[in-house]
Structure 1
């Protein structure tokens, strides 16, 4: 698992932003750093919906320090676009359908009792313009949301 101080793994994945386009982390860091990547297990589930809606409600704090927020899950980009629309999310959601980003960041988890494998642990990473992870939070409990004030402070520090 990547940690604070590590170089963020570079990746390219589909971005659901009302349309579907390609997202490459290293390219986005050139113009958008710091970047907040908020991994979540699955769209349309109660805690994930609450988390993404809380990021939306607090988006101005990230805008104030020119930080960009992106959600990341294993859902398809088409599912994520519907999730964005239904929840009025203004930030993009990265589709990791092939589980490559989850693997690179080391945040995979299973719901074995449900037969669901390889979803993202609820986790948040703040990445600065040098591609360094300046903040990391990973929960083994999918029912726990991040400390949003800590994430905001980390984004401000990375700006």
Structure 2
């Protein structure tokens, strides 16, 4: 699992922004860092919706230090665009439809009783302009949200 001090695994994936663009982490570091990667198990579920809406509600605090927030899930970019629309999210959502990013970050989780495998554990990583992970939080309990104040403080430290 990726941890604080590690180099963030680079990736290229579809980015839902209303349209579907391509997102490459290493290409975004110079302009967007620090970058918050907020992994969530699935769009349109209660806790995930609450989490993404809380990031939206606090978006100005991240923008004040020139940080960028991106949600990441296994949902398709088309589903993520609908999720963005329904929740008025202003930040992009990265589609890890093929589970490559989740595997590279070591945060895959299964819901055996539901027959759902390989979704992201609820996790937050802050990546600085050098590509270093300066903050890592991973929950084994999908019902627990991150400490948003802690994430904001980590972003301020990385800025």
What's the TM-score, normalizing by structure 1? 1.00
**Number of residues paired by the alignment?**
159
Report the counterpart of residue 50 of structure 1 in structure 2: 50
Instruction: Quote the residue 2:23 is aligned against.
Output: 23
1: CA distance between counterparts of 2:13 and 2:154? 25
Q: Is 1:59 matched with 2:59?
A: yes
Where do 5+ consecutive residues of structure 1 fail to align?
Answer: none
Runs of 4+ deviating beyond 4 Å = none
3-state SS of the aligned residue for 2:6?
coil
C-alpha distance in 2 between matches for 1:21 and 1:60: 23
Task: Tell me, in whole angstroms, the C-alpha distance in 2 between the residues paired with 1:134 and 1:44.
Answer: 29
Alignment correspondent of 1:4: 4
How far apart in 1 are the matches of 2:111 and 2:9?
A: 25
Match of 2:120 in 1: 120
Pairing 1:1-159 to 2, within 5 Å after superposition: 1-159=1-159
SS of structure 2 residue aligned to 1:136 = strand
Shift of 1:118: 0.1
Shift of 1:114: 0.5
The secondary structure found in structure 1 opposite 2:10 is coil
SS at match of 1:109: strand
Note the aligned Cα RMSD (angstroms). Answer: 0.3
Secondary structure of the 1:104 match is: helix
**CA shift at 1:30, angstroms?**
1.4
- Match of 1:79, SS state, is helix
